Amino acid sequence: MLTEQQRQDAADAILQAERTRQVCPQPSKTWPGMTLEDAYDVQRRWAEARIAGGAKIAGRKIGLTSRAMQQASRMTEPDYGVILDDALFYDGARIKAGTFIKPRLEVELAFIMGEDLRGAGCQVHDVLRATEFVQPALEIIDYRTEVPRQIVDTIADNAAFGAIVLGGRTIRPFDTDLRWIGATLSQNGVIEETGVSAAVMGHPAAGLAWLVNKLAPLGGGLKKGDIVLGGSFTRPVDISSGDVIFADFGHLGSLGVRFE
Mind listing the pLDDT tens digit of every residue in the chain (260 residues)?
A: 999 999 999 999 999 999 999 999 999 999 999 999 999 999 999 999 999 999 999 999 999 887 656 665 566 789 999 999 999 999 999 999 999 999 999 999 999 999 999 999 999 999 999 999 999 999 999 999 999 999 999 999 999 999 999 999 999 999 999 999 999 999 999 999 999 999 999 999 999 999 999 999 999 999 999 999 999 999 999 999 999 999 999 999 999 999 99
The residues near 75 (Cβ < 8 Å, ≥ 6 apart) are 64, 151
Please report whether residue 200 resides in a domain: yes
Please report whether residue 119 resides in a domain: yes
Count of C-beta atoms within a 10 Å radius of residue 77 = 11
Domain count, the chain: 1
Please report whether residue 12 resides in a domain: no
How far, CA to CA in Å, does 55 sit from each of 63, 189, 232? Answer: 22, 34, 25
Please report whether residue 17 resides in a domain: no
Please report whether residue 7 resides in a domain: no
What confidence score (pLDDT) does residue 77 get?
85
What confidence score (pLDDT) does residue 70 get?
62
Please report whether residue 49 resides in a domain: no
| Sequential DSSP letters for 184-232 | EEEETTEEEEEEEGGGTTTSTTHHHHHHHHHHGGGT-EE-TT-EEE---
CB 24 within 8 A of CB 14: yes
What is d(CA 136, CA 205) in angstroms, rounded to the nearest whole number? 14
The residues near 107 (Cβ < 8 Å, ≥ 6 apart) are 137, 138, 183, 185, 193, 195, 232, 233, 234, 247
Q: Which domain holds residue 79?
A: 57-259
CB 206 within 8 A of CB 109: no
Please report whether residue 110 resides in a domain: yes
CATH of the domain at 119: 3.90.850.10
What is d(CA 214, CA 208) in angstroms, rounded to the nearest whole number? 10
Please report whether residue 109 resides in a domain: yes
Bridge-based pairing of strands 94-95 and 254-259 is: parallel
